[in-house]
Amino acid sequence: MAPTDAGVLSLGDLAEGGRAYVRQVKGGQAYRGRMAALGFTIGAPLQLLQNTGGGPVIVLIRGMRVALGRGEALKVLIAPGDGGNDQPQR
């Protein structure tokens, strides 16, 4: 389940407490649909609250805490940093 293009980070690579924004959600239509409904849309800022390096992670996104299994976390590609901006017209 390694990222296809080198250099692209997934949620699993982010350190505990790290901030990032969503670049892409990989996976099937149903999975991406569920993630989108939970707020995992492109550009959405998030903070990783827990990542023990194996096992599930906890993400803070749009004011909600979401637990993702390891496999799911690896499908969320991110760009680290505070620059998340899902409101381009702001």
Partner 1 sequence: MTSPSGEAHTVTVALAGQPNVGKSTVFNLLTGLSQHVGNWPGKTIEQKVGIHHFRRNGDSCAMRIVDLPGAYSLTANSLEEQLARDFIIAERPDAVAVIADAASLERSLYLLAEFLFLPVPVVLGLNMTDVAEQHEIHISPRILEAALGVPVVPMSATKNQGVRELVEAVDRVIRGELPYAPNRPAIREDHRTVLQEIRALIAGRAPAPYPEEWVALKLLEGDGEVARMMEARMPGGWEAVQAILTQHEDAMLAVASGRYEWIGRIVRAAVTRPRTGQITLTDRLDRIATHPVWGILLLLGLLGAVFWLTYRVGAPLQELLDAHLVQAAAEWLRGALEGAPWWVTGLLADGIVTGGGMVVTFLPILLVFFGILGLLEDVGYMARAAFVMDRFMHLIGLHGKSFLPLFLGFGCNVPAVLGTRIIDAPRARLLTILLVPLVPCAARMAVVAVLAPIFLGPAAFWVSWVLVGLNLGVLALLGVGLQRLVLRGEALSFIMEIPLYHLPNLRTVGIAAWQRTLEFLKKAGGTILAVSVAVWALSALPGGEIETSYLASAGKLLAPLGAWMGLDWRMLVALLSSFAAKENTIATLAILYRAGEGGSLAGALAGSLTPVAALAFLAVQMLFIPCAATVAAIRQETRSWLWTAANVLLLAAISLGAGIAIFQGGIWLGLEGR
Residues that bind partner 1 (CB under 8 A): 25, 27, 29-39, 41-44, 49-50, 52, 54-56, 58, 62-69, 71-72, 86-87, 89
Single out the residue of 78, 19, 21, 27 nearest to residue 49, CA to CA. Answer: 19
Nearer to partner 1, 71 or 83 (CB): 71
Angle at the Cα of 39 from the Cα atoms of 89 and 73, rounded to 5 degrees? 125
Shortest spacing between CB 18 and partner 1, in angstroms: 13
In angstroms, give the least distance from the CB of 13 to partner 1. 18
Distance CA 62, CA 71 (A): 21
